[in-house]
Every structure is written in structure tokens, then in C-alpha cells.
Amino acid sequence: MPDQLTPYWDPIKQQFLMSSSSGLIGPASVDILQAAFRQRSVTLSGFQATGASATIPLGIAQNDGVIVGTNVAAITPMGSGDSYTVDIQKNGVTVLSSAIALLSSTAAYVSVPGTLASPPVYCKAGDFFAAVITYTHATGTAPANVSFEITLAEDPGRSVTIPMGIAPRAGTIQDARISAITPLTGNATFTADIRKNGTSILTGAMALLSSTAARASVTGTLTATNLAVAAGDFFEVVFTSTPGTGVPPQNAIAQVELFIN
């Protein structure tokens, strides 16, 4: 059997060396292969020049997804005494627990978010979104140049395979891990399986949990210690995301660390 290679840091030479039962072999380099998973998002929006009761189309969802936010803002605030509310609807049914209210105290350009009713709120390709405005004039003035937005994270439940890179020379795999900037919520699930030439290098896919903090990394268990890599080996990662009753993580990354002899 060939010697098992182990990376060794030489404090004198200030570089990694590869060692085996036969002794030191020579200098080694560290190569990091990475791939990122980003949830696709799209914003549907509408506009009203002068505040009045009306229904404003926002747009049609192009893909399945989940609603991640709604907002209303005005360039010219409403005068004291009047009432202006916005209900965001999907196919004629509200997605909010209550309509978004612009107040006379709401400053110009300040966005007022809505609260979703029983999140997560899903949508299907072809769903139609609209802003239903109710304006009541009393003693004030209507708001002007009002913008309405709804943001959708598309394809919340999906599996995607992303290339990570090609090993430039022979070496060993020392580490595999994943992390995300924005953690998942609820019982959403998110896993990453790193594969070499189409075969997993892990005993089980790495998983981010709702308890995994932002930017915290989860380390996978390799199928073998110092798993051998040949020059030209192709690495890829399979991300699998399901929303459940939560929201998948945002801006996740997977990486594998190679020690190259």
C-alpha cells in the first residue's frame, strides 16, 4: 500500500510539507475550492402618483416561491387627519395580517413593512399580486408618489448542483464545511453534499440547522482520513433546500480544503 500523506507545518521554513511513514516528501500548498448558493429573489412593484382608493397591479410571479417581504413608502407624506392603508393581495386574497398604514407621522421616503399572515406565505408561478388602497379624506392631504413592493424568494424548495473546481495536482482532502450569512428559520432544511467525480466524499450531507448561527461553519465527516485526490479530479456540491414552515438560509457557501503535494 502507498504511504498515507499527512500535511505538516514546518515552523522554520514557514510552509506546509507532506509527510508519510517514509519521512518528509516536500513542500505542499493549500487549495480551497468553493461554491455559493444564493436564493434567487425578485421584487414586484407598483406606483401611485396621488393617494386615492384604487387597486394597483404589482405583477405576476414567474416561478414558485415564498414571500419574504412587503413595503410601502411615499415621497410626499400624508397630511394629518386622513387615512391611507395598503393591503397586498395574491389572487384577490390578502397575504398580510393587517393592512399597511401610512400615517401623517410617517416621514418622506421611509419604508413601512407589512406583517405576513401565517408565514411562510408561498406563491406559484402565475399568481397575480396587487396593492389594494383605501384612502379616506378628512382634514389632511393625500400622500403622493407612493410605491408598493413585494419581494419573493423564488424556488424555495429545490436541489441544485454547482461546480466547485478541479484539483490542480495530486494531494489529500483535509476538510469540508458549509456556512451561511443569513441562517434558516423554522423547520426549513438545508444540506450540502460535496462530491468528487460524482461520488460523495462525506459519510452524510452537511446540514445547516435553525440553531446554526449566522456565518458559523458546519464541518462534514469525510469518508476517509486524508482522502486522496488525483490531478484533474472534479469537485461539485449538491445543495438541497426545503422551506417547510420556515425560510431557507440566504447566501450559503460550501468549501473543501485540499493539501496539494
Assign residue 236 the CATH number of its domain. 2.60.120
**What pLDDT, on a 0 to 100 scale, did the predictor assign at position 123?**
87
The whole-number average pLDDT for the span 119-131 is: 89
Same domain (yes/no): 178, 131: no
Same domain (yes/no): 72, 138: yes
Answer whether residue 88 is part of any domain: yes
Same domain (yes/no): 25, 64: no
Check if the beta carbon of residue 155 is closer than 8 Å to that of residue 64. yes
Predicted structure pTM score? 0.61
Same domain (yes/no): 148, 75: yes
Per-residue pLDDT reduced to its tens digit, 160-192: 899 999 998 898 998 999 999 988 888 888 999
Check if the beta carbon of residue 191 is closer than 8 Å to that of residue 184. no
Answer whether residue 67 is part of any domain: yes
Residue with cell 393591503: 87
* DSSP 8-state symbol, 233: -
**What pLDDT, on a 0 to 100 scale, did the predictor assign at position 156?**
58
Tell me the range of 13-27, 37-51, 79-93, 182-196 where mean pLDDT is highest: 79-93
Per-residue pLDDT reduced to its tens digit, 208-233: 998 999 999 999 999 998 899 999 99
Q: Which three cell numbers stand for residue 121?
A: 406565505
Same domain (yes/no): 161, 148: no
**Does 244 or 203 have the greater pLDDT score?**
203
**What pLDDT, on a 0 to 100 scale, did the predictor assign at position 52?**
95
Q: How far apart are CA 107 and CA 75, in angstroms?
A: 8
Same domain (yes/no): 102, 198: no
- Reduced to 3 states (helix: H, G, I; strand: E, B; else coil), residue 122 is strand
Same domain (yes/no): 108, 65: yes
Confidence of residue 25 (pLDDT cuts 50, 70, 90): very low
**What pLDDT, on a 0 to 100 scale, did the predictor assign at position 261?**
63
- Of 100, 131, 154, the residue at which a domain comes to its end is 154
Per-residue pLDDT reduced to its tens digit, 48-97: 999 999 999 999 998 878 888 999 999 999 999 999 999 999 999 999 99
**What pLDDT, on a 0 to 100 scale, did the predictor assign at position 1?**
41
Same domain (yes/no): 226, 188: yes
- Of 154, 179, 201, the residue at which a domain comes to its end is 154
Answer whether residue 228 is part of any domain: yes
Domain range spanning residue 183?
A: 6-38+157-260
Q: How far apart are CA 136 and CA 50, in angstroms?
A: 13
Answer whether residue 1 is part of any domain: no
- Of 128, 154, 180, the residue at which a domain comes to its end is 154
Number of domains in the chain: 2
Same domain (yes/no): 147, 193: no
Q: Kindly tell me if the per-residue pLDDT of 13 is higher than 50.
A: no
Peptide bond into 120 cis (omega under 30): yes
**Does 260 or 41 have the greater pLDDT score?**
41
